[in-house]
Amino acid sequence: MKSKKIFLFFISIFLSLVFVIYLFYQAGFKKVFKILFLLSWWQMLAVFLIEILIFLLLIKKWQILTRPYGYKNRIKKLIPAFLGKRVISYLTPIMYVGGEGFKAYLIKKSEEKSFIQTFGLIIVDRIAEGIALLFFLALGGIISLLAGAYILGFFLILISLGLIILIIVFSRLPNIFYLLIKIFKFHKIAKQEINEHRTLQEKIDEEINLIKDFFQKRRKYFNLDVLLSFFYILFACSQIYLLMSFWGHRLYFFKIYLIRTFGILAGLVPTPGSLGGFEGAMAFIFMTLNLNLEHALSLSLVIRFIQLIFVAIGIFFVIPYLTKFIIPLIFRNNKPEKPTNS
Q: Is residue 287 one of the residues assigned to a domain?
A: yes
Q: Does 94 reside within a domain?
A: yes
Average pLDDT, the chain: 79
How far is residue 325's CA from residue 189's CA, in Å, rounded to a whole number? Answer: 10
Q: How many folded domains does the chain comprise?
A: 1
Nearest-angstrom CA–CA distance, 137 and 154: 11
User: What pLDDT score does 298 carry?
Assistant: 95
Is 47 inside any structural domain?
Answer: no
In which element (H, E) is residue 255 found? helix 253-266
> pLDDT tens across 281-327, in order?
999 989 988 899 999 999 999 999 998 999 888 888 777 766 665 55
Q: Residues 73, 63: contact at Cβ < 8 Å?
A: yes
Residue 45 located in a structural domain = no
Q: What CA–CA distance (Å, rounded) separates 117 from 206?
A: 9
The boundaries of the domain holding residue 124 are 2-35+52-331
Query: Is this structure's pTM higher than 0.85?
Result: no
Whether 341 is covered by a domain: the verdict is no
Residue 156 in domain: yes
For residue 274, give the nearest of 286, 262, 259 by alpha carbon. 262
Residue 137 covered by a domain: yes
Phi, psi of 265 (to 5 degrees): -65, -35
The string of pLDDT tens digits covering residues 86-135 is 888 787 765 555 677 788 888 888 887 777 788 878 878 888 888 888 88
Half-sphere exposure of 257 (CA within 13 A, CB side): 18
Domain assignment present for 197? yes
